[in-house]
Structure 1
Amino acid sequence: MFHPLRVSAIERITDDAVAVTFAVPDELRETFRHLPGQHLNVRYTLDGQEIRRSYSICAPAVEAPADPVLRVGIRMVDGGAFSTYALKELAVGDQVEAMPPMGRFVLRPRPGFFAAIVGGSGITPVLSIAATLLAREPAARFCLIRSDRTAASTMFLDEVADLKDRFPGRFQLVTALSREEQAAGLPSGRLDKERLTGLLPALLSVTDVDGWFLCGPLGLVQGADKALRELDVDRARIHQEIFHVEDGPAPAARIDAPADSTLTATLHGRSGSWPVQGAESLLETVLRSRSDAPYACKGGVCGTCRAFLVSGEVRMDRNFALEPEETDAGFVLACQSHPVTPEVELDFDR
């Protein structure tokens, strides 16, 4: 369910990025209390067209009775309708609709040693994760390895510097710039699999890290995952969130659904059945009758349309949101799923 939220602050953090803070009404304080690493799905009508986007919350997670802080980072995307609007027109006092915080790329504060490899705007959820962990858990340490194009394009420089000042013995920062040299730190260049495989053991004891958090463009996340697996890191300790898939593989070619294929879906406690038309996704099938079906990106990235496959078989075009244990348990992305069997049943409420 979407709720109206008023913009209370907008801060320009780079030439092409802003941090937007939303005021949370008293009656929605618990509804919008987030876990570190979660994101907001926002909805806005622009020029008569509904736009939905997903943005990670960068503010630390706080517990009651403290008021939740909803601050998201938005970077301009070429051709991006909402990001262009956010940077050029959105103003304090404007109203945007948002769903309650969601997402499973989270770290609940606990003792241990944790690390993250991020690229570009991938710093956004990890900033919340690191800040929350270090503030709440004195027995925790965190290593942040970040990659950006240039120093000027680096988001949340001040916030990360503050973590270094506040937790000098427990927070380690390693910065790589791909398009310019820096006075100190790593030589310029991308953090690809080969570079990370050699770099990581020199920085820390890789297998002693209790949890790895990878976030950013597809190429960086996949390269970091392969490097960690080559360095014998257990898959269960690696958590991923993809922000951009422009450089990823093309979706599988769509094929028509079986003749007379029918989808039955449960959503918000109500069930219905509808015919699947042609090559449409199961999400599109539901949306024809249920406008309240959850979605944001429709690209297999955000995981908003996650649903449990009760019966039947489906084919997913691509999946950048669900962990292997989730797909093994029977969850699918409705926006990427097409029926393989004549009858398919989904449960969005699980």
Structure 2
Amino acid sequence: MNSVVPTDGARRRTGWHRLPVSAVQYLTRDAVAVTLDVAAPLRDTFAHRPGEHVVVRHHRAGEELRRSYSVCPPPEDPGALRLVIKKGAPDGFGAYALTRLAQGDRLELSAPTGAFTLPERPGAHHVLIAGGSGITPLAAMAAGALRTDPTCRVLLVHSVPTAADALLADELALLKDAFVDRFTVLHVLTREGRPPLGGRIGAAGLPRLLAALDTRPGPDTTFALCGPAGLVATVRQALTDAGADPALVRSELFALGDDPPTPPAAGTPPTPPVAGPPPVPGAPRTPEGTRVTALYDGHRRVVTAGPRDPALLDALLRDHPDVPYACREGICGSCRAKVLTGEVATGPQYALDAGQLAAGYTLTCRARPLGAEVTVDFDA
């Protein structure tokens, strides 16, 4: 399968596609790798960059579940559309995938999307720090960087409770064999050993861990972090304290957990209004109803957002259930849209960086309208 990603204008990030399952591989007691078969007409649609994710839409007993999963191809087939799915709630999609999903079944997926990618810096030293399931996008990033930049180096640190919990350990060992001089992988076991090579990765232990691995922040060192909120926030702050350039530290969460980071792990605090063209002078800041125009999948939809709607997404979903979203917690970025006209206030979110916010993007699950009319474009 061709893994070259077309330009942004050549594919849409909205819409749904039913793809057959070509393989199911059990990785650990609570995780499974699912490979999807992509027919030739959809290969451009499902071409992907390392770090991108898809949304899976699943129906059960009249209820719709949406979950986002990073695309994590195996080392021997970097263009494959493979998802690593971990069991969560007993009645969630992960449990279904682990116990019932089989070859020949079909899953409903969105096209790959996301901005969690490594910067293009030839010869860089990429330091990737994962917690638990956060390994899935970082494993893809490591393989992609090593294959496309023969001058780069990659260090991958994976924090897991025990060795038995280390997803993709065998595949990472094969990657190490293929790039023995440029790739280092280390598993930090939180329930075994002592810091810096064991125990939880904390603010005090991280500098010692990096020093032991001969790694320090610098202009040629990039960082990518993925895992639970507490880990990502701790590591980000420790790197900032050690002198890392915030522009070279990228992150993604897979769950907020019980202790959301402050500021958000994407490096952006609760944000000021995001605007398209300036709103009409005198437009009401707390309107009784806002006319919302949404562009997605090549169509134009119009709804009215009322004062009781928590966010734009809630108003849209009443009449248009196909509007893109997944987590509804400001984490995955699946409901990202660009504000073309009007103005919105974006609450706490963890998916958009300062550059995307400055360019006019918002998360509709966290955006409230501030005027009489707002237009957002999910296809942008």
Q: TM-score with structure 2 length normalisation?
A: 0.83
Equivalent position to 2:198, from 179, 188, 197? 188
Corresponding letter in the other structure for 2:47: R
Matches within 5 A, 1:1-350: 1-59=15-73, 68-79=79-90, 81-107=92-118, 110-181=122-193, 186-203=196-213, 204-249=215-260, 258-277=287-306, 278-350=308-380
Percent sequence identity over matched residues?
39
Cα distance in structure 2, aligned partners of 1:193 and 1:311: 43
Cα distance in structure 1, aligned partners of 2:93 and 2:291: 34
Residue pair 2:75, 2:175 contacting (<8 A) in 1 also? no
Larger deviation, residues 193-202 vs 118-127: 193-202
Cα distance in structure 2, aligned partners of 1:74 and 1:330: 32
Secondary structure at the residue paired with 1:125? helix
Aligned-pair distance for 1:155?
Answer: 0.5
Larger deviation, residues 165-174 vs 309-318: 309-318
Q: Which runs of 5+ in 2 are unaligned?
A: 1-14, 265-269, 271-284
Residue pair 2:74, 2:171 contacting (<8 A) in 1 also? no
Cα distance in structure 2, aligned partners of 1:108 and 1:237: 8
Larger deviation, residues 170-179 vs 66-75: 66-75
- CA 60–329 in structure 1, closer or farther in 2 if over 3 Å, else same: farther
Cα distance in structure 2, aligned partners of 1:311 and 1:336: 17
CA RMSD of aligned residues (A): 2.5
Cα distance in structure 2, aligned partners of 1:199 and 1:180: 15
Residue pair 1:74, 1:86 contacting (<8 A) in 2 also? yes
Residue pair 1:115, 1:212 contacting (<8 A) in 2 also? yes
Aligned-pair distance for 1:187?
Answer: 4.2
- CA 30–272 in structure 1, closer or farther in 2 if over 3 Å, else same: closer
Aligned-pair distance for 1:80?
Answer: 5.5
Q: TM-score with structure 1 length normalisation?
A: 0.90
- CA 36–157 in structure 1, closer or farther in 2 if over 3 Å, else same: same
Secondary structure at the residue paired with 1:296? coil
- CA 209–174 in structure 1, closer or farther in 2 if over 3 Å, else same: farther
Secondary structure at the residue paired with 1:181? coil
Q: Which runs of 5+ in 1 are unaligned?
A: none
Larger deviation, residues 35-44 vs 289-298: 289-298
